Structure 1
Amino acid sequence: MTDIPVPPSTRSRTPGPWQAALLLAGSCMPVMGSVLITPVLPQLSAHFGDAPGADILVPMIVAIPALMIAIFAPFAGQIVDRLGRKTLLIVAMLAYAVAGTVPAWLDSLGGILVSRAFVGVFEAAIMTVCTTLIVDYFHEARRRNRYLGLQTVATTLGATVFIAVGGAVGSAGWHAPFWIYAIAIPIAVLMIVSIWEPARSDSTDSHAVVGERAAVPWRAIALPLVVSLFGGFTFYVMIIETSYLVVGTGVAPTDTATIGLVAAIASLATAAGALLFPRLARRGSQQLVPTAFALQAVGMIIVWLTPAFAGVLIGAVIASFGSGILLPSLVTWALARTRFEDRGRVTGWWTAAFFFGQFATPIIVGGITAATGSLPVSVGVVGIAAAVVGVVVLLGTRASRTRAAAPLESEPLV
């Protein structure tokens, strides 16, 4: 690969913390879509309890957006590369606000599910564009790693805040939290005036040769995508299962203060790992990804071997700290060497892989629990699998450096 020779003056605008803040805020929208209404799920179950299949369909209100992200993110990536970034982002943000608030005036379980599916479609576009623009805007490795780490921090802490807000607003009824999706509208307005379409001739970015068809670099991203699929699964295991693990130690299900405290501490551990990522990034993803999986493995195995309250707390903190390092490491591994012309598609495929892992988490853990008869044992099994995958990644990345370099593999892995 060679870069297009263009004058340095082609880059006329310099992104800063304000643009980064807007992209981080946009990145939080898919997280809000997943967790905001979890506190009112019991109300929804009670309200639609007589509807056919309610036991399955009500939880799908939370789960279906992640599935839609997994399905439609690659299509969003195609649009990003062919038609541009900014327009898709603004349209998706506004459409997300509309689709997200629709259930506020619906009283139909089927209608709510349809609206939630559309929320997931628009989230796919938002997440793909925001991540693509972070890499577009911040080419210098230190700044890029900083903002990719902050993306994980923002989404992790945002999830904690959204759960709390959803619970507080939900006291007014299950319709009320859906109005919060309208927050995407003022963010979109700010994006209109503050975010710009990156120049395709930007000399500070990496480009395909003039006239070259920029195909998706499957050879370079195949391993990162497969590992990200598994990483999306391990990332959400502790997020989804911690409350059940705490209750399994003897804490009453009604003791939401204790359950929430453990979940909040684990969330802070994830944020701490992500904050540390920029300092560790110089070691390269070939080291950080296995290290993150190892930390997840240690934490999950502690939960398995010490299923008392202290063991669950310590294990959740260690595993979540590893998750905080894992997410930005996976993003960087997949995207750091992409060219402008194929970056949207690569981001879309990465987003699809990670969110499909998220969607599959309760299904896989449920299957393992059914086979083992114990949730702590199931978490331990996932921990062992994380350790194995970490070793495979370490060996695989070492082997890849001995092969003849492909065009997009000639640059250093960061």
Structure 2
Amino acid sequence: MTETLPPPEARATRRAGVWQGILLLAGSCMPVLGSVLITPVLPQLSEHFADVAGSDILVPMIVAIPALIIAIFAPFAGQVVDRVGRKTLLIIAMFAYAIVGTAPAWLEALPAILFSRVLVGVCEAAIMTVCTTLIVDYFHEPARRNKYLGLQTVTTTLAATVFIALGGALGVGGWHTPFWVYAISIVIAIPMIISLWEPKGDPSDKHAAVGAKVKVPWRSIWVKLLVTLFGGFTFYVLIIETSYLVVGTGVPANDTATIGIVAAAASLATAIGGFVFARVSKLAPGRLLPIAFGLQALGMILIWVFPGFVGIIVGAILAGFGSGLLLPSMLTWVVASTRFEERGRVTGWWNTAFYLGQFLTPILIGVLAAAVGGLPIAVGIVGVTAAVMAVLVGVGIRRTPAEV
């Protein structure tokens, strides 16, 4: 764990600007594209593959599989990032993403489509790991780094709304059509080739001693990764369940306008939370975590206590704002203090924890709702758990101030 000054070639580094930030934020939207673009055409897919055995489970997996694959493969992407380099992996993954992402546009067999989605998840694991690592590498000053990590949440949240609308519009032409949007990664990759560079570290970075074997710093990150796993779960609870909560108040399931307004309000609150994080970057990210979990808890408990339409709107907005504050706070808390030589692997493991939490969300909420007799009660129990996490994290940070 000995630290030393960066090597001589790292003493003078290129300074990233707004253009590099835009490219990395655009790349960060690719996993969002993978998870939401085709949700509007799922009913068409279900109808098309109705005769395929197990299609009622396999068709939804077209959306769910990439998140699971990110959770599995992100650590391997982190290994490549630290040992081979950042830029090369990113460019290869962006071009490969266009190929495997558009494959269902001309595929007809469900197993082949599912396999292409597995490959999409592998590409997304690489893209998300590299983009996040490069944001920390390029914008090493705390204020600029936190600004772009906050904007990462804002951008991806707003992009999710745009991609859902785009998928719905293109779906009018048939379920194959939205898959062509994945080719946009090529449009982003070309300027990446020109404008991004392989970082060598910065004088302000922590570095390992020359020749030292650098391992994943499990001792300092394992608790943080567990918090991230839980945070990934709470982050996605209302993203997935808000529409069902609204329908539970008596709103017809085909009243997509009303359901969409509530979901959009919560999504906008998440984006605002990310923007606020970027504006309050002078605060230690770890100290924002109890506030973020507390806001999530307040919103979810409000839905439990007041399960009517107004209660769900207010609760979803409060929890959404907390989620927007939570995501960049967790990421900065875990990644920002790492050494340059281990940053890719730590970022990979962070992605694993977060996306595993995302993948487990519908499973855990389904089991919990069945056990307690209703979705609002289940959401409220998650809120109580988030409140407990807020207290635990707050107490833990007070005892280890150097870790914030």
Shorter chain as normaliser: what TM range?
Answer: over 0.9
Distance 1:337 1:9 in 2: 18
Contact 1:85–1:129 (8 Å) recurs in 2: yes
| Residue 240 of structure 1, CA deviation | 0.5
SS of corresponding position for 1:283: coil
- Which residue of structure 1 lines up, in the alignment, with residue 99 of structure 2? 98
- Opposite residue 70 of structure 2, the aligned amino acid is I
Distance 2:248 2:152 in 1: 32
Question: CA offsets per residue over residues 290-311 of structure 1, 9 Å max, x none?
Answer: 1101100000011111111100
What percent of counterpart residues are identical? 65
- Opposite residue 182 of structure 2, the aligned amino acid is Y
| Residue 413 of structure 1, CA deviation | 4.5
- Which residue of structure 1 lines up, in the alignment, with residue 264 of structure 2? 264
- Which residue of structure 1 lines up, in the alignment, with residue 252 of structure 2? 252
Question: CA offsets per residue over residues 83-108 of structure 1, 9 Å max, x none?
Answer: 00000000001111111000000111
1:6-405 correspondence runs (5 A): 6=7, 10-200=11-201, 202-401=202-401
Which structure 1 segments of 5+ residues have no match? 402-411
Alignment RMSD (CA, Å) = 1.3
Which structure 2 segments of 5+ residues have no match? none
Contact 2:105–2:179 (8 Å) recurs in 1: yes
Q: TM-score, normalised by structure 1?
A: 0.95
Distance 1:328 1:10 in 2: 28
Contact 2:9–2:200 (8 Å) recurs in 1: no
Going from structure 1 to structure 2, the CA distance change for 1:360 and 1:58 (only over 3 Å counts) comes to same
Distance 1:365 1:317 in 2: 19
Distance 1:205 1:400 in 2: 21
- Opposite residue 12 of structure 2, the aligned amino acid is R
Q: TM-score, normalised by structure 2?
A: 0.97
Distance 2:135 2:6 in 1: 23
| Residue 213 of structure 1, CA deviation | 1.4
Distance 2:368 2:13 in 1: 54
Distance 1:8 1:104 in 2: 46
Contact 1:280–1:288 (8 Å) recurs in 2: no
| Residue 7 of structure 1, CA deviation | 5.0
| Residue 278 of structure 1, CA deviation | 2.5
| Residue 189 of structure 1, CA deviation | 0.7
Contact 2:6–2:207 (8 Å) recurs in 1: no
Hey, which bits of structure 1, 4+ residues long, moved more than 3 A? 5-10
Contact 2:98–2:185 (8 Å) recurs in 1: yes
| Residue 182 of structure 1, CA deviation | 0.3
SS of corresponding position for 1:282: coil
Distance 2:224 2:28 in 1: 21
Contact 1:273–1:325 (8 Å) recurs in 2: yes
- Opposite residue 75 of structure 1, the aligned amino acid is F
Going from structure 1 to structure 2, the CA distance change for 1:146 and 1:5 (only over 3 Å counts) comes to closer
Contact 2:10–2:200 (8 Å) recurs in 1: no
| Residue 369 of structure 1, CA deviation | 0.8
Contact 1:336–1:413 (8 Å) recurs in 2: no
SS of corresponding position for 1:253: coil
